[in-house]
Homo-oligomer: A and B are copies of this chain.
Amino acid sequence: MSVVTFIPGGVVSAKGFSAAGAAGAIKYEGRNDVALIVADSPCEAAAVFTTNKVAAAPVLYDRKVVKGGVVQAILANSGCANACTGEKGLADAEMSALVTAGELGISPKHVLVASTGVIGRRLPMERLLEGMCKAKAALGRTSEHGLSAAKAVMTTDTRPKEACVTVRIGSKKVTVGGMAKGSGMIEPNMATMLGFITTDCAISSAMLRRALKLAIAKSFNNLVVDGDESTNDSVFIMASGKALNEKITRGGEAFESFRKALEAVCVSLARQMAADGEGATKFVTVTVKGARSEKDASRAARAIAKSPLAKTSWFGKDPNWGRVLAAVGYSGADVDDMKTEVFYDGVWAFRRGETADEKQLKRLEKVLEKDAFEIIVDLHLGKGESSIYTCDFSVEYVHINADYTT
């Protein structure tokens, strides 16, 4: 299979796309908060949305659009989620898609909308559409244009998130690039995540959807529990076909190469999100292996990643492995603590009933000093394995979230 190579870039790196960010004063004056991504011609497209039963207006609107499998533009804003806004919010979402289509001279059936920000406020339509017009005037294909769009969707993110890879499919070089927004705690209770991916691969919308679902399972879903999602979570992909590879319409080597490339972009974006968790000081990978089943491994890893007690201990640089083990204990996964081992970056903390002594705790404390480390829990009961990307829980997190709306 072909090698996937990371290159600098984002949402305009693949052939056939332009983008821009603009200041619409949606919530704050003078910062980019409206993003526009436009394809030169209608694209094969797919999207995956939140499973939250309270879905935001743009999600309700987009679900219908994306059924057609063809998209040419996405309008996104930060500062207002357009969620819990009823029929009026739905009309706002539709209207913003219609006006965008009109401005761009494309079919209104080919425009998606995405919003993130405070729940329960109406979109300031005039400012949003003014922002859209500004973004349209600024559209371009340079890395600055991609970055400007990536910045426009940030809410509490401290850094824009972009990723790009290339992969050979047949004799052609295919590019997959994307941008994302998300810095909520993600687990257990993520703030909105939005992902926007573009590719010049020639691929049918059905196969695009299949590749996107597989990639999300290995990336964003390792941050996000099903049924534990915000009202607005969405990941979009558009494929322009301009790489001129033989169009992928079924499984096989070409599909696998594309799938791997897309997964690499999604994993990179997911890791950037975890590392930029609100107020996060540490990026932590939690791996549970030796579980009775993959489901058990996933349950246990998620319980650890969600535990405020474990997360605050990482912030405190405290090798409090007891909290890790306690989380496994209530996760629902099978566990026998007399068989279990807990490691921090390869340094053991607990093994089959034996606990770290003072000397070993000193070694562990050195691991906790790092900005990034991995916790491995080996249950020694089977072959199930699962990894979750997460971050610590800091004083800053509370400050950020206590002060967010007002």
Q: Nearest-CB distance from A167 to chain B (Å)?
A: 35
Quick check: is A25 within 8 A (CB to CB) of the other chain?
Answer: no
- CB-based contact B325/A401 at 8 Å: no
- CB-based contact A404/B318 at 8 Å: yes
Residues of chain B within 8 A of A228, CB atoms compared = 330
Residues of chain B within 8 A of A81, CB atoms compared = 322
CA gap between A393 and B393 in the complex, in Å: 12
Quick check: is A359 within 8 A (CB to CB) of the other chain?
Answer: no
The verdict on A118 contacting B185 (CB below 8 Å), with A332-B227, A398-B393 known, is: no
A334-355 CB contacts (< 8 Å) to partner B: 334-335, 337-338, 350, 352-355
Q: Nearest-CB distance from A186 to chain B (Å)?
A: 11
Quick check: is A230 within 8 A (CB to CB) of the other chain?
Answer: yes
The verdict on A308 contacting B309 (CB below 8 Å), with A54-B335, A404-B320 known, is: no
Task: Name which residue of chain B comes closest to A352, CB basis.
Answer: B86
Taking a contact as CB atoms closer than 8 A, the residue among B52, B120, B188, B308 that contacts A355 in the complex is: B120
Taking a contact as CB atoms closer than 8 A, the residue among B316, B326, B334, B393 that contacts A230 in the complex is: B326
Q: How many copies does the complex hold?
A: 2
Residues of chain B within 8 A of A373, CB atoms compared = none
- CB-based contact B398/A315 at 8 Å: yes
- CB-based contact B334/A189 at 8 Å: no
| Chain A count of residues within 8 A CB distance of the other chain | 69
Task: Name which residue of chain B comes closest to A333, CB basis.
Answer: B53
Residues of chain B within 8 A of A51, CB atoms compared = 330
Q: Nearest-CB distance from A279 to chain B (Å)?
A: 9
- CB-based contact B354/A318 at 8 Å: no
- CB-based contact B354/A86 at 8 Å: yes
- CB-based contact A321/B398 at 8 Å: no
Name the residue among A53, A55, A83 with the largest chain B CB count within 10 angstroms: A53
Quick check: is A78 within 8 A (CB to CB) of the other chain?
Answer: no
Q: Nearest-CB distance from A160 to chain B (Å)?
A: 23
The verdict on A403 contacting B318 (CB below 8 Å), with A191-B309, A309-B189, A355-B121 known, is: yes
Residues of chain B within 8 A of A227, CB atoms compared = 330, 332
- CB-based contact A330/B52 at 8 Å: yes
CA gap between A121 and B118 in the complex, in Å: 45
Quick check: is A250 within 8 A (CB to CB) of the other chain?
Answer: no
- CB-based contact B54/A356 at 8 Å: no
A-B contact pairs, 11 of them (CB 8 A): A54-B326, A54-B329, A120-B325, A121-B355, A189-B330, A312-B397, A312-B398, A315-B402, A316-B403, A316-B406, A398-B398
Report which A residues bind B (CB closer than 8 A). Answer: 51-55, 81, 83-87, 118-122, 184-185, 188-189, 191, 227-231, 306-309, 312-313, 315-316, 318, 320-323, 325-330, 332-335, 337-338, 350, 352-356, 393-395, 397-399, 401-406
